[in-house]
Structure 1
Amino acid sequence: MADDDLDGLVARVPLGWSRQLVDGRAWGISRTDRAGGRSSTIDGEELGGAGRMSANVWRTAAGTLLRPCEMPAEQVLEVLRALPEPG
């Protein structure tokens, strides 16, 4: 995945906590940025369901890196791709 694609997916998650629809299901998703935006933590859980996701995103000189927490990267990307684009 190109860095721009990952950065765009992360940008779909508003800062702080928000309620989002992911494939028609309600999720609570939060994003916290650190180090002037060079690091982001994204956590989400399906409200009333079993879905979960958590990841760290690091923006380095070598590019943007996705580091999921104890789950496959595709599971995190699936949720991020299902979020509406900002704007």
Structure 2
Amino acid sequence: MKTEAVHRLRAWPSGTSEGQARGRRYHVSKSVFARGKSIKLVAHEIGGTDYISLNLYDLSAGPRLFPCEMPMEKVLAFLTDLEKA
């Protein structure tokens, strides 16, 4: 499941757009740094309080996904379900 989540994160367009996951709509902002070796994604639920924040780093040992002050399970579930609204 983690591989699918990383693939979906990489495929998500850069910039800010609307998405949906787990039956909720989000403003999703994706920023790419270091020629694609670092990705930051932040999502705010539209009309709600849910918040997702994570970083992905391409390291020599492979990609590493780091949630920002939330459980990895929450981030993986969000990325797995995320699609364009």
1:31 correspondence with 2:30: yes
Percent identical pairs in the alignment equals: 33
Map of 2:41 onto structure 1: 42
2:53 corresponds to which letter in structure 1? S
Larger displacement relative to structure 2 (22-31 or 51-60): 22-31
With the length of structure 1 as denominator, give the TM-score of the two structures.
Answer: 0.85
SS state at 1:49 partner? coil
SS state at 1:53 partner? strand
Residues 82 and 6 from structure 1, CA distance in 2 versus in 1: closer, same or farther, beyond 3 angstroms? closer
Structure 2 CA distance for aligned equivalents of residues 59 and 28 of structure 1: 25
Q: How many residues in Structure 1 have an aligned counterpart in Structure 2?
A: 84
Q: What is the CA distance between 1:56 and its match in structure 2?
A: 0.7
Root-mean-square deviation (Å): 1.8
SS state at 1:74 partner? helix
Larger displacement relative to structure 2 (52-61 or 7-16): 7-16
Map of 1:53 onto structure 2: 52
1:75 correspondence with 2:74: yes
Larger displacement relative to structure 2 (22-31 or 58-67): 22-31
Q: What is the CA distance between 1:46 and its match in structure 2?
A: 0.5
Runs of 5+ consecutive residues of structure 1 not aligned to the other structure = none
Task: Show CA shifts across 1:19-38 (max 9, x none).
Answer: 11112321001110000000
